Structure 1
Amino acid sequence: MNIEQTVSTAVASLALGNVFTFDDLVRAVQDRRQRTLRVVELADLGDHDGICAVWLITESEDLVLHAHSDSVLHRQQFVLHEFAHMLLGHGQGDECSVEDVLLPDIPAHTRGRLLARQDLDSDREIAAESVADRLAASIRGSALAESRYLEIFG
């Protein structure tokens, strides 16, 4: 896998340009997947639990659950990493449904998917983190551009 090419293709496929807002990104992901996308913070989940975020698929929507962090940028990275998995098509055939995750008898494929997130050296995780980094840079660029505009033009 050529990770750089994969990352560039995934980001370019959004057709958002080099600078965009988080809301622009959410709309683009929803349009691409033709599903509602909802992001929810789980206040009781923390970095110490070993899972920063997880992408769940229901019948009607994509749901990203993420841990709390005092750092807005850190929380954003959790979410962008899950968006990256969506954009890279990593969930195809190995999705977790809400029912799978919330039931006490967690199916093997769900456990495997959650545990795979700990393998940070895999090509899938490296690509997802690289896409998330690119998305974050574009969002930061948008925030900086808007703030400079306000500084100059009030």
Structure 2
Amino acid sequence: MNTEQTVSAAVAGLQLGSTFTLDDLLHAIQNRRHRRLRVVELADLDTHDGICAVWFVTDTEDLVLHARSDSALHRQQFVLHEFAHMILGHCDGDDCPAEDVLLPNIPPYTRARLLTRQDIDCETEIAAESLADRLAAGIRGSVFAESAYSEVFG
């Protein structure tokens, strides 16, 4: 897999342009996946617990749970990483098989994502982090554009 090509194609496929807001991105993902997407901070979860964020897929919605952090940019990166997995189609269908005997009450795709979370050197994690970085750059560009507009036109 060529990560740069994969990420570039994913960004182009969103059809958001080079700058966009987090809300624009959230709506684009919801439209693409034809389901609600919720992002929830877990106040009792801290990055020191070893989990920054996790994406759960239910029958009706996608749910991203993320740890708290004093840094808004850090929290945003947690969420964008999980969004990137959605955009790249990681764990769609049977792409993330897991043994049914482990955690039987948790859907297989969620189990697999939880169990492989520490493998940050695998291709899917590298692609997700690279795409998250590109998404963050698009959001930053939007903020800077709005800021420059306000400075010039008040």
Q: Does TM-score exceed 0.5, indicating one fold?
A: yes
How far 1:57 moved relative to its partner?
A: 1.1
In the alignment, what sits opposite 1:144? 144
Gaps of 5+ in 1: none
Shift in CA distance, 95/36, structure 1 to aligned 2, threshold 3 Å:
farther
Query: How many residues end up aligned between the 2 structures?
Result: 149
Give the CA deviation at 1:108: 7.6
SS in 1 for 2:44: coil
Q: 1:107 to 1:23 in 2, by over 3 A?
A: closer
Q: CA deviation at 1:12?
A: 0.7
- Residue aligning to 2:127: 127
**Compared with structure 1, are the counterparts of its residues 79 and 95 closer, same or farther at alpha carbon in structure 2 (3 Å cutoff)?**
farther
Show the counterpart of 2:23.
23
Q: Letter of the aligned partner of 2:40 in structure 1?
A: V
Q: Could you say if the C-alpha distance between residues 15 and 150 of structure 1 is closer, same or farther in structure 2, counting changes exceeding 3 Å?
A: same
Change (3 A) 1:135 1:110: closer
The equivalent residue for 1:14 is 14
More deviation, 116-125/86-95: 86-95
Q: Conserved in 2, the CA contact under 8 Å of 1:53 and 1:82?
A: yes
Return the letter of the residue paired with 1:143: V
> How far has the Cα of 1:81 moved from its partner?
0.2
Q: How is 1:102-113 mapped onto 2 (pairs within 5 angstroms)?
A: 110-113=110-113
User: What is the CA–CA distance in structure 2 between the aligned matches of 1:7 and 1:121, rounded to whole Å?
Assistant: 16
Q: By how many angstroms is 1:107 displaced?
A: 7.4
Superposition pairs for residues 1-154 of structure 1, below 5 Å?
1-93=1-93, 110-154=110-154
The C-alpha deviation readout for 1:7-59, integer Å capped at 9, x for no partner, is 11111100000000000000100000010110000010111111100001112
Q: Contact 1:56–1:95 (CA<8 Å) still a contact in 2?
A: no
Q: 1:45-93 CA deviation, whole Å, 9 max, x = no partner?
A: 1111111000011121110000000000000000000000000000213
Where do 5+ consecutive residues of structure 2 fail to align?
none
Query: CA separation in 2, counterparts of 1:9 and 1:18?
Result: 13
8 A Cα contact 2:55 2:110, kept in partner: no
Q: Do 1:57 and 1:95's aligned partners in 2 also have CA atoms closer than 8 Å? A: no
Q: Identity percentage over the alignment?
A: 72
